[in-house]
Amino acid sequence: MFFSQEQNRHKHWYHILSIGNRKLRVLMAAGVFFAAVLLAVLIVYSVRAAGYDPKQLISSLPGCTLYDSNQHPVATLTPHDNAPVTWGELPSHLVEAFLAREDNYFFEHRGVVYSALVRSALHNLLSLSYKQGASTITMQLTRHVFDLQGKTIDRKLLEIMLAQRLESLYDKTTLLCQYLSRIYFGQNCYGLREAAHAYFGKEIRELSTAESALLAGIVRAPSLLNPVRSAERAAKARNETLERMRELNYISQEEYEEAVNEPVNQSLHTVQKGNKALTYPAMWVNAELDTLPGIARERGHGLSVVSFLMEQLQQYLEQAVHEALNSLEDPKAPYPAAWAAKGDAEKSFQKLFAATKRPINLQRGNAPAQRGKIKLQTCALVIDARLNHRGNVLAVTCGRNSSDGINHWLDQVMPGRAAAPFVFYGACLPGRTEQHIVAHSARITGARLGHGVVSDTLSSLLPDVKLPGKGDEQALYDGLFYLRKIDLARLLFALQNAGRNYRLRLVSTVWSNGQRLIYAADHDSPPQELMRREGAVAVSHLPPFRYSEGLPITLHEELPENGGYWSMVCNDRGVAVILWCGVLDAAGKPAEVTPQFRKLLSHATENLAEDLHTTARRMLREAANKP
């Protein structure tokens, strides 16, 4: 009895720590199971990683290509120099800036830092989120090269195996140079070379410590942290990188203080490399891509952008604009055949074109206006107005020569009488008294409504436009305020479409370099109502619009202060053409010309808009009838 009690007393505390045969077998079985799972995972992901071609790393950097509606390539969206960065042009402080910001163990690890992965996994597990990825520079490079997407364990495991494979095949300098050649820096800059040109107007080897730290600092959120978007956020990201460089003894205290006090420049430099001019559709698409969610981080990987563009119509538009402006500049130039075909009524104008003297300071051709000279300029939009297609841009020009990189749709103009429909629209809103009826002029209608009503109506349509205040009512009613040409085009198109706010878009779908769908234009969801339907319909046929039963609706107005001429031709369930033509000086400001030449310009603008509308409708019908 005593022996038994002594035995129980000894088992009271340390026998718990002993491992019996049964426990040992369970632990061994669990160990074998997890080892087998780990081995299976390694085999599976090693096989999957072997399916990727590592030569993609050193192949030409992926570009972005624009396709028309028939999926024919029509333009490049990456006009910059795609030459990879070389090790010899990288200053040591630039390499150290990126190491400090992204991966200070880069030259020591073999593609993966497992201790960092464990810390990241524990942090994410405790926070029930995916806030930390512990990606090395090599792992980030694999995402760019092989188009790996999504924050998943599957992607991370594949990324680890591919990173180790790249590390076994390429040296560290090659990996770092390829990484710097591919990452996105914001403001449509892909790769370090393009970022150095755009933000500082310098070659890579000329970058200072502060400039290098700024570029390294913005790569985690380039669309938000770039200096053009926010100098304050860019400076903060730069200073965090500089502080990390100081902690790692890459720079001294004196170098740190000098760099953090360097001002941040917000202006972009227009250094162009490679002499690859963008087309106007490419210019429009690049701007549109910047507004689409989830595209910015993808663009450095290479994209395929399928558009609504009709290439044949685009070519006709560019040729028609060239012929029209050529006939305006040179009385000896051939008169556009499409105009001459209109019959006897056009012959008198054809003679007038040949007889009228051109301004002596009018410069011919597509080159930018020289000092003391004036230039003809234009921009045109052909928009699909059919059901389920409305707002799709079929063809576009933003000026006369895309190589200057200027989008004249973004220029400011005074709309003048072209804004009268929006004053009339204010009189059609609910709650107006019987005195608030549409008169024959915007000034009379506006006076009846009062400054407050008209200002509120226009502010709801143009929230970012500064309107004339009280005491300057007539300027408000007469459209003597500035707005962008594209905003005027958008409002007029909405008015002719029952007030619906169709987004003028050229992008249909966007695909990654690995043929993964990134974006698709939503054709099914109805657009928001920009104007009340009843009011928009009520004024859509009133002057200054011209309407006859069975014919397209047209608008043709001279803009105030030598702003040129604005023409619009549209028909329901068909096509809308919006066109501006004007004369600008070397500084891009409206230039004054003789009344005789203004008459030619007015006639050419109207004729060109009508010709484009007729041609676009015919081409759409032919495309629809193709088997």
HEC sequence for 246-265: HHCCCCCHHHHHHHHCCCCC
Tell me how far apart the alpha carbons of residues 321 and 314 are, in angstroms, rounded to a whole number. 11
pLDDT band of 122, cuts 50, 70, 90: low
pLDDT given at position 273 = 40
pLDDT given at position 569 = 96
> Percent of the chain having pLDDT more than 90?
44
User: For 136-176, what is each residue's pLDDT tens digit?
Assistant: 898 888 887 877 766 677 778 888 888 888 888 888 988 99
Tell me how far apart the alpha carbons of residues 606 and 342 are, in angstroms, rounded to a whole number. 13
User: Average of pLDDT values for 265-270?
Assistant: 78
Mention every residue, 6+ apart, whose C-beta is less than 8 A from residue 122: none
pLDDT given at position 62 = 62
User: For 510-565, what is each residue's pLDDT tens digit?
Assistant: 988 767 888 888 765 677 889 999 889 989 989 999 988 888 999 999 999 999 99
Lowest mean pLDDT among 199-213, 305-319, 404-418, 436-450: 436-450
User: For residue 456, how far is the Cα from the chain centroid?
Assistant: 31
Average pLDDT value over all residues in the chain: 84
User: Average of pLDDT values for 257-275?
Assistant: 75
Q: What are phi and psi of 395, to 5 degrees?
A: -160, 150
Lowest mean pLDDT among 144-158, 354-368, 576-590, 600-614: 144-158
**CB of 534 closer than 8 Å to CB of 578:** no
The domain spans of the chain are 22-51, 80-266, 416-481
Show the CA angle centred on residue 154, arms to residues 151 and 158, nearest 5°. Answer: 105
Q: Residue 131 above 70 pLDDT?
A: no
pLDDT band of 458, cuts 50, 70, 90: very high
pLDDT given at position 130 = 46
Q: Residue 25 above 80 pLDDT?
A: no
pLDDT given at position 599 = 93
| Region of residue 358 (left: phi > 0; alpha: psi -120 to 50; beta: else) | beta
Q: What is the DSSP letter of 595?
A: H
pLDDT given at position 140 = 87
pTM surpassing 0.85? Answer: no
**CB of 377 closer than 8 Å to CB of 321:** no
Tell me how far apart the alpha carbons of residues 315 and 335 are, in angstroms, rounded to a whole number. 19
Mention every residue, 6+ apart, whose C-beta is less than 8 A from residue 286: 77, 188, 278
Tell me how far apart the alpha carbons of residues 412 and 408 are, in angstroms, rounded to a whole number. 9
Q: What's the CATH superfamily of 80-266?
A: Biosynthetic peptidoglycan transglycosylase-like (1.10.3810.10)
Q: Around 524, how many Cα atoms within 13 Å sit in the side-chain half-sphere?
A: 1
pLDDT band of 127, cuts 50, 70, 90: low
User: Average of pLDDT values for 72-87?
Assistant: 73
Q: Residue 80 above 70 pLDDT?
A: no
- Quick one: tokens of 163? 């990173």
Q: Residue 57 above 70 pLDDT?
A: yes
pLDDT given at position 370 = 83
Mention every residue, 6+ apart, whose C-beta is less than 8 A from residue 567: 554, 555, 556, 577, 578, 579, 580, 581, 605, 606, 608, 609
Show the CA angle centred on residue 415, arms to residues 393 and 380, nearest 5°. Answer: 25
User: For 230-256, what is each residue's pLDDT tens digit?
Assistant: 899 999 999 999 999 999 999 999 999
pLDDT: which is higher, 605 or 369: 605
Q: Is 77 helix (H, G, I), strand (E, B) or coil?
A: coil
In 51-187, alpha helices (H): 92-102, 114-127, 137-146, 153-169, 172-182
pLDDT band of 627, cuts 50, 70, 90: low
| Region of residue 588 (left: phi > 0; alpha: psi -120 to 50; beta: else) | left
